[in-house]
Amino acid sequence: MSVIFYDLAGADPKRRFSPYCWRIRMALAHKQLEVDDRPWCFTEKDAIGFSGQGLVPVIVDRGRSVHDSWEIARHLETAYPDRPSLFGGAEAPIRLIASWTERVVQPQIGRMIIADIVAVLDEKDKVYFRESREKRFGMTLETAQADRDERLPAFRQSLEPVRTVLASYPWLGGAKPNYADYAVFGAFQWARCTSPYKLLAEDDPIFAWHKRARDLFDGLAEKAPAFG
Amino acid sequence: MSVIFYDLAGADPKRRFSPYCWRIRMALAHKQLEVDDRPWCFTEKDAIGFSGQGLVPVIVDRGRSVHDSWEIARHLETAYPDRPSLFGGAEAPIRLIASWTERVVQPQIGRMIIADIVAVLDEKDKVYFRESREKRFGMTLETAQADRDERLPAFRQSLEPVRTVLASYPWLGGAKPNYADYAVFGAFQWARCTSPYKLLAEDDPIFAWHKRARDLFDGLAEKAPAFG
């Protein structure tokens, strides 16, 4: 029986770009689960109303709905203990890494690609997205994104903790990838699937790590519609 | 046979204040090792010359010297596999947390307590410390520290990833403390042992976590000479 997965999609239903959904897409593959994939748009709140809230990712696993990427990851780890571990005994430290990604990495990326995202959205989502995000930034998305070249050096600098790990280990999880990797991976995959902007220098070890992660699970993320 | 541990000390040889040495002090206790403790001052380079470099922590374990806090932690984990684990299977994720502490938490704390540190140093260290740090900051230590009240809100905000974990787990290591805790702990213990400045609000969950950590190992850190 497959796991139903509501995943944020653009005008092209194959273009998936939520950083939180990418965490779960990778986690479902890590757990070797069959996925019944449902592309979902921001304004289709009714389609996930059963979950009691309006955001993806949402999964339905054997009749039970779970939302919030962290809760979904914990559910998968508990429900499928015989499959490869998502946390490798490090649930709390990985929670810190996921939180750091949400509070430090993603806001900086968002600011650099926010206008580009609009172009990949389904028509019915564009007004909702622009209005809600322009309210959040207090300016047009084009203005928010305009100074990204000046923001880029500080962004790259803020990733040093990731580079420290990659200097000694192939994955943030250590010898093998785990949810520590997928949490950070999602942020960069979000950018890759929505914007041609080059966040990472090609000689950055994070660049090579992200390519290795895209190649996991038979190229699950490498094959996804994206830029670059 | 006890582990020889060179630990940074102030004018009072019982006042230990290096963030990196506190990591190792806690790690040695976690591994239930007997410690032969050697207070060390910045300018006593000769005393640790055998290690091939001039910084503490340095340990000598069964004739082998190891320096650099991360390398010491890895050595202890490998050399004493039957003692409680320092990493709990999460070596690489904890490396990221340690690096984040070094690159984000410690520089901000340092800027807020740097002039206070001078007052606790041994006389012979004061000139060395002031000159090297004033060169680093490009200003007097008093000037560097003067705007700490303005820096405090951003510092507290940057600790959100720690609060996210503590909202769901008692320790950064999860159910029990491990090196994830000791890495972050050292930063706050450094401040506590050198400065009366209040970095954390008393209702901050990090404040309570730090107190719990000081109470570990029969109050090892709680009993240490400190402010507040």
> Is residue B182 in some structural domain?
yes
Are A6 and A38 in contact by the 8 Å Cβ rule? The answer is yes
Cross-chain residue pair B168–A100, CB shorter than 8 Å: no
Contacts of A149 (CB under 8 A, 6+ apart): none
Q: Are residues A15 and A47 in the same domain?
A: yes
- Cβ-in-10-Å burial (0-12, 13-18, 19+) of B49 comes to exposed
CA-to-CA distance for B182 and B189, rounded, in angstroms?
A: 10
Residues in a beta bridge with A171: A174
- Cβ-in-10-Å burial (0-12, 13-18, 19+) of A57 comes to buried
Cross-chain residue pair A169–B90, CB shorter than 8 Å: no
Q: Are residues A174 and A106 in the same domain?
A: yes
> Is residue A196 in some structural domain?
yes
pTM of this prediction?
0.97
pLDDT higher than 90, residue A76 = yes
B52, B79, B106: which is the final residue of a domain?
Answer: B79
Q: Are residues B209 and B135 in the same domain?
A: yes
Cross-chain residue pair A172–B93, CB shorter than 8 Å: yes
Query: Residue B201, by phi and psi: left (phi above 0), alpha (psi -120 to 50) or beta?
Result: beta
> Is residue B107 in some structural domain?
yes
CA-to-CA distance for A171 and B161, rounded, in angstroms?
A: 21
Per CB distance under 8 Å, which residues of B are interface residues toward A? Answer: 88-100, 103-104, 160-162, 164-165, 168-169, 171-174, 180
Q: What stretch of H or E contains B208?
A: helix B205-214
CA-to-CA distance for A103 and A100, rounded, in angstroms?
A: 5
Cross-chain residue pair A95–B164, CB shorter than 8 Å: yes
> Is residue A213 in some structural domain?
yes
Q: Are residues A166 and A203 in the same domain?
A: yes
Q: Are residues B60 and B105 in the same domain?
A: no
Cross-chain residue pair A92–B164, CB shorter than 8 Å: no
Task: Tell me which residue in B88, B95, B161 faces A96 most closely, judged by beta carbons.
Answer: B161
Place of tokens 């230990």: B16
Q: Which residues of B touch A173 (CB under 8 A)?
A: 92-93
What is the domain count for chain A?
2
What would the pLDDT profile of A161-202 be if each residue is shown by its tens digit? Answer: 999 999 999 999 999 999 999 999 999 999 999 999 999 999
Residue-level pLDDT, tens digit, chain B, 228 residues: 899 999 999 999 999 999 999 999 999 999 999 999 999 999 999 999 999 999 999 999 999 999 999 999 999 999 999 999 999 989 999 999 999 999 999 999 999 999 999 999 999 999 999 999 999 999 999 999 999 999 999 999 999 999 999 999 999 999 999 999 999 999 999 999 999 999 999 999 999 999 999 999 999 999 999 997
Q: Are residues B207 and B97 in the same domain?
A: yes
Q: Are residues A46 and A156 in the same domain?
A: no
ipTM above 0.90, yes or no: yes
Cross-chain residue pair A97–B99, CB shorter than 8 Å: no
> Is residue A71 in some structural domain?
yes
Amino acid at A124: K
Amino acid at B136: R
Closest CA to A145 of A183, A125, A118, A123: A118
Q: Are residues A198 and A95 in the same domain?
A: yes
Amino acid at B92: A
Are B96 and A180 in contact by the 8 Å Cβ rule? The answer is yes
Any idea what the CATH number is for the domain that residue A55 is in?
A: 3.40.30.10
B79, B99, B127: which is the final residue of a domain?
Answer: B79
Cross-chain residue pair B90–A90, CB shorter than 8 Å: yes
Shortest Cα distance, chain A CAs vs residue B162, angstroms: 6
> Is residue A226 in some structural domain?
no
Task: Tell me which residue in A88, A161, A169 faces B103 most closely, judged by beta carbons.
Answer: A161
pLDDT at A228: 75
Task: Tell me which residue in A90, A99, A164 faces B88 most closely, judged by beta carbons.
Answer: A90
The predicted model gives A48-52 an average pLDDT of: 96
Q: Are residues B161 and B205 in the same domain?
A: yes
Contacts of B115 (CB under 8 A, 6+ apart): B140, B141, B142, B144, B145
Shortest Cα distance, chain B CAs vs residue A74, angstroms: 12
Task: Tell me which residue in B99, B100, B165 faces A95 most closely, judged by beta carbons.
Answer: B165
Phi, psi of B171, deg, nearest 5:
-130, 160
Supply the range of the domain harboring residue B11.
Answer: 3-79
Q: Are residues B134 and B205 in the same domain?
A: yes
Q: Are residues A55 and A100 in the same domain?
A: no
Per CB distance under 8 Å, which residues of A are interface residues toward B? Answer: 88-100, 103-104, 160-162, 164-165, 168-169, 171-174, 180
> Is residue B85 in some structural domain?
no
B30, B46, B79: which is the final residue of a domain?
Answer: B79
Q: Are residues A41 and A101 in the same domain?
A: no
Any idea what the CATH number is for the domain that residue B97 is in?
A: 1.20.1050.10
> Is residue B228 in some structural domain?
no
Kindly identify which residue of chain A lies nearest to residue B162, measuring between CA atoms: A96
